[in-house]
Chain A
Amino acid sequence: MGELFTSTIWPLTVLVFQILAIVVPLLLAVAYLTYAERKVIAAMQLRQGPMVVGPYGLLQPLADGLKLFVKETVIPTGANKVVFVLAPMVTFILALIGWAVIPFGDGIVLADINVGVLYLFAVSSLGVYGIIMAGWASNSRYAFLGALRSSAQMVSYEIAIGLIIISVLISAGSLNLSAIVRAQAEQGWYVFWHFPMFMIFLVSILAETNRHPFDLPEDESSLVTGYNVEYSSMTFALFFLGEYANMILMSAIASVLFLGGWLPPFDVWPFTWIPGPLWLILKICLVLFVFIWARATLPRYRYDQLMRLGWKVLLPLSLAWVVLTAGVVLAFDLAPSAAG
């Protein structure tokens, strides 16, 4: 019994607590991201935003959550029930499991796997299933059209993301996220070396998370909110939470790949005094602000323009950058010698 305890039960308990230590703050962050979004957009439009529930409307996300929680879950008669219920769960779970490999600090990571970047890429490429399943299972034309738009869009922009990741990998010489951040400590942040790719990455993650100005899957003026039109109550809330958790995850990926993860911007006293995880959170907030800023500023793309941007502009640019990066690394013998 004692051996079983030390070999299995205790590590499992620790693991569960570690997972909770990531998931609970994440869900809180998701709730307050919705609040931040409303407040920031309100400020940009010279409004006040939510002000009624709690001081400065701070309890608004909790009130919204409670409202969704107590509503009735409606499952349409023609829906494919199992898939219909499964779809929001898939979206939500996929938005959470990506966090397993994000390094919050030097050595502060749940699973320090060798193929961390590929894992994140795999998780983000699976995100399309939640939407496509929802669209099909709803047995509704609007939902189906939204799902089709979304899957075509996400598959298209994933290719650009993949190529950008390859450029970063060539520079860092590792697929491990912690190793990528450590490489940035030596070489400088990749946002400086790969600045055009950082911009393309920002555009691509906007499309990947179905956010403005690429939010065609939930284009309310032509699709009455698209793939989630038949969802209500908690099933809808799971989509909503999943979308926002995905935004935070994508911002975290951008921070780790380009903005130096947990590294302070300058390696001198007042900056090094702030702990690494806090730097990562600040960087995530910065990228999230860009998400919200884009939503407040830009009109929605037309669908053919969206496709042309992905395939004819971003894809050739990022492919050319991969070739350029590989060429420069080879010509000046810059390949990192880090083994492992």
Chain B
Amino acid sequence: MSAELFLFWLMGAVTVASAVMVISAKNPVHSVLFLILCFFNAAGLFVLIGAEFLAMVLVVVYVGAVAVLFMFVVMMLDINFVRLREGFIEYLPVGALVGLVLLAELVLVAGTWAMREPTTPAAPALAEAVDNTRALGRLLYTEHFLVFQIAGLVLLVAIVGAIALTLRERVGVKRQDVARQVHRRPSETLVLERVEPGKGV
């Protein structure tokens, strides 16, 4: 067995196992940690097929940013596990139904995908030796420029939306206004008085 094949099986197995643990772990923080392990192994698989840029972006964006926020939220939660398990039998039929629908869809998609003859040739070989960062950049900024920009705009709308949803004006909060502090002059705030001894101000 070649080293690459061994690594593929190892990382694939850990990916699947940790994905299962994400939904079966009792402690939600453990779930997030398993999710991170899953992301890592997916990044490893990306490296194995030579998509190093995607691998790094996966780690930076999902593990370095998104999962940190998940972790934040999950650590703050005060979850009562007994109450969470209540009504498990009650909701089981609905859950099973949703699961079945999803499974059927997946099987259908996977089935057609596997059966179709390859109509398009595999990814066209690049004329020159270009690393995949450069190749991705060229594609994104030329052929898919519009889609790329629209994706950026969607993200911008999401940012503005998140801020609009959470921003609230609170009264009675003292805030530091740096510009005001910097522009304060001694003449506006200081008064020098000559005080006679024994008299007071």
Contacts and interface: CB of A to CB of B under 8 A. Distances in A.
Contact of A122 (B36, B59, B68, B176): B59
Given A83-B33, A118-B56, A136-B29, A304 B64 contact: no
B60 A339 contact: no
B64 A136 contact: no
B52 A136 contact: no
Given A8-B3, A83-B33, A122-B64, A114 B52 contact: yes
Given A114-B52, A115-B53, A115-B56, A132 B129 contact: no
Contacts of B71: 129, 132, 136, 151
B130 interface: yes
Nearest to B29: A136
Contacts of A83: 29-30, 33
Summarize A's interface: helix, strand, loop or mixed.
helix
B131 interface: yes
A339 B52 contact: no
A126 B43 CA distance: 14
A183 to B, nearest CB: 15
Given A132-B71, A340-B131, A126 B52 contact: no
A139 to B, nearest CB: 11
Interface string B66-77: 001001100100
A125 interface: yes
Given A115-B56, A132-B68, A151-B68, A175 B133 contact: yes
B86 interface: no
A340 B64 contact: no
A125 B64 CA distance: 5
* A: interface residue count bin: 20 to 34
A125 B176 contact: no
B117 interface: no
B128 A339 contact: yes
Nearest to B131: A114
Interface residues of B, number: 28
Interface string A45-84: 0000000000000000000000000000000000010010
A118 B60 contact: yes
Contacts of A175: 53, 133
A163 interface: no
Contacts of B176: 304-305
A121 B129 contact: no
A220 to B, nearest CB: 23
Interface string B101-137: 0000000000000000000000000001111111000
B49 to A, nearest CB: 14
Nearest to B59: A122
A321 interface: no
A129 B60 contact: no
A80 B178 CA distance: 43
Interface of A: 8, 80, 83, 113-115, 118-119, 121-122, 125-126, 128-129, 132-133, 136, 144, 148, 151, 155, 158, 175, 304-305, 308, 339-340
13 contacts: A80-B27, A80-B29, A114-B133, A118-B53, A118-B60, A132-B68, A144-B75, A148-B72, A308-B178, A339-B128, A339-B129, A339-B134, A340-B129
Interface of B: 3, 27, 29-30, 33, 36, 52-53, 56-57, 59-60, 63-65, 68, 71-72, 75, 128-134, 176, 178
Given A80-B27, A83-B29, A121-B56, 17 more contacts: A83-B33, A114-B52, A114-B133, A118-B53, A122-B60, A125-B59, A126-B59, A126-B63, A126-B64, A129-B71, A132-B75, A151-B71, A305-B176, A308-B178, A339-B129, A339-B130, A340-B131
The 6 closest A-B pairs by CB, nearest first: A125-B64, A118-B56, A122-B59, A114-B131, A122-B60, A115-B56
